[in-house]
Amino acid sequence: MVGIVSYGTYIPRYRVKLADIARAWNKDPNEVVRSLGIEEKSVPGVDEDAVTIALEAAQCAIADKHIDALFVGSESHPYAVNPTSTIVGELLGQGNNYLAVDLEFACKAATAGMQAIAGLVAAGQIQYGMAIGTDIAQSKPHDLLEYTSAAAGAAYLMGNTGVIAELVSYTSYSSDTPDFWRRDGIRFPTHAGRFTGEPAYFAHVLGSSHHLLEQGKIKPTDIDYCVFHMPNARFPREVSKRLGFTSEQLAPSLIVDHIGNPYSASSLLGLAAVLDNAKPGQTIFMASYGSGAGSDAFLWKVTSEISKIKYQKSKMKERVSDQIAKKTYVDYVGYLKQTHKI
C-alpha cells in the first residue's frame, strides 16, 4: 500500500486585506472582494522565501524518517540555476544518500512530484519520499493577480509503511496551453485573461478528473471529499459542481477563502485541511492544476493510522486551521516591502 505517511504545512503569519490593495489603486474594495470571493491573502516575511517555507512545512512532516527522495515543486525557486531541494535536504539533516529533484510546472509542480514518488515507492526503489509544494507567489502591482497571489508550503511524506492515506489511483492530463507564463529573466508572470478559464483550468482539471473517475469506475457520490487547485474562490466551486460533487464535499478544502492562492501549495494545503478532519475509511478526490497546462488527479483513502497524527496536530496547533488563524495584518505598503517590490 503506497500513500501518505505524514504531512506538514506552513502559512506565513502576515496577511494583507484585498480592500487595502484595491484602495491603493482607486478600485472599489467591495467590488473586488465580491468578485474574487476572498478578503485577505497570506504575505511572506521580508526574509522568507520558497526554501525557508519549504523547510518549515517539511519539519512538521518528517516524523524522524530518513528521506530517500526529496522533490520540491515551486514557481518561485530562489535560484534560476541551483536546486532548492538540496538546500532543504541539507537543512533537514538528510545526509547525502538521497535523490534531490527540483520541479517546476506552475501550480502543479509538487503534485507531479507525488506521482513520481509513488512510482519509486511502488517499485521498491525507495522507502520514504517527500514532495513539497512551496511558493511566495509573485505578481505585478496593480495586476489582477496581485489580489490572489499568496505564500505557503505543504510537505507530504510518502511511503508504504504506516500509511495514513492510501493512494488508490492517479492520473494526469497534459497539453500545450499557454494561459499563464513568465519568460526567463522577466520578473512578473503574464496571464492570458479569460483564456485562463475554460480552455485552461477547466479543460485540464475536468480532463484528469473524468479520466480518474472512469479509470476507477467510481462516481462523486461514492467519494467523501474533493480538493481542487484554487486560483480564486470561484473556479474550484465551479469545477466541483460540474463534476457532480456537492458543496459539502468541497467545503473543508477551501483554504483560498482565507489565504488566497499559494500556487504550488494550493491543492496540497486543501488536501491537508481535509486530512486534518478526515476519518478512517473516507475517500478524498484531488485534482491540481498547473498553467501551461496540466492537471494531476488523485484518489486517496484514509486509514486508521490517521488518528494519531490528527491528535498530535491538534495538540501542537499545527493544523491548517490553526495556521490560518495565526495572523498579523500588514497594510499595502508593508505588503510591497515584504515582497520586495519597494
Partner 1 sequence: MIGKAGKIISWTIVRVPPANFGFQAPYPVVIVELYGGDRIPAQLVDYVPEHLKFGQKVLTVVRKTIQSDIDDVIPYGIKVKPV
Does residue 202 contact residue 229 with C-beta atoms inside 8 Å? no
Minimum distance of partner 1 from residue 52's CB (angstroms) = 5
Nearer to partner 1, 52 or 177 (CB): 52
Cell readout for 192 is 492570458
Cα 306 from Cα 274, distance rounded (Å):
12
DSSP β-bridge partners for residue 13: none
Nearer to partner 1, 47 or 176 (CB): 47
Q: Is 91 exposed, middle or buried (0-12, 13-18, 19+ CB in 10 A)?
A: middle
Residue 64 touching partner 1 (CB under 8 A)? no
Q: Which stretch binds partner 1 (CB under 8 A): 76-84, 144-152, 165-173, 251-259?
A: 76-84
Binding residue count for partner 1, defined by CB under 8 A: 19
Residue 35 touching partner 1 (CB under 8 A)? no
Whether 191 is a known active-site residue: answer: no
**Amino acid letter, residue 184:** D
Nearer to partner 1, 55 or 101 (CB): 55
Q: Catalytic pick from 107, 166, 191, 226?
A: 107
Residue 146 touching partner 1 (CB under 8 A)? no
Minimum distance of partner 1 from residue 55's CB (angstroms) = 5
Minimum distance of partner 1 from residue 137's CB (angstroms) = 17
For helices 84-91 and 50-61, give the axis angle rounded to 10 degrees: 50
Cα 11 from Cα 125, distance rounded (Å):
32
Cell readout for 102 is 527540483
Q: Which stretch binds partner 1 (CB under 8 A): 28-36, 74-82, 112-120, 186-194?
A: 74-82
Q: Which stretch binds partner 1 (CB under 8 A): 55-63, 156-164, 205-213, 277-285?
A: 55-63
Torsion, Cα of 321, 323, 328, 332 (10° steps): -90
Q: Which stretch binds partner 1 (CB under 8 A): 75-83, 151-159, 168-176, 221-229?
A: 75-83
Residue 49 touching partner 1 (CB under 8 A)? yes
β-pair type (128-136, 69-73): parallel
Q: Catalytic pick from 60, 229, 258, 318?
A: 229
Please confirm whether the linkage preceding 123 is cis (ω < 30° from 0).
no
Does residue 152 contact residue 10 with C-beta atoms inside 8 Å? yes
Position among 1, 30, 78, 311 found at the interface with partner 1 (CB under 8 A): 78
For 5, 66, 121, 131, the CA distances from 125, given in Å and listed in that order, are: 17, 14, 6, 16
**What's the distance, Cα to Cα, between the start and end of the chain in Å?**
50
Does residue 132 contact residue 57 with C-beta atoms inside 8 Å? yes
In this structure, what DSSP letter does residue 66 have? P
Nearer to partner 1, 142 or 340 (CB): 340
Position among 2, 18, 36, 87 found at the interface with partner 1 (CB under 8 A): 87
Nearer to partner 1, 136 or 302 (CB): 136
Residue 46 touching partner 1 (CB under 8 A)? yes
Whether 229 is a known active-site residue: answer: yes
Whether 238 is a known active-site residue: answer: no
Residue 63 touching partner 1 (CB under 8 A)? no
Does residue 295 contact residue 111 with C-beta atoms inside 8 Å? no
The residue ranges that bind partner 1 (CB under 8 A) are 13, 45-49, 51-52, 55-56, 59, 78-79, 82, 87, 91, 328, 337, 340
Residues recognised as catalytic: 75, 107, 229
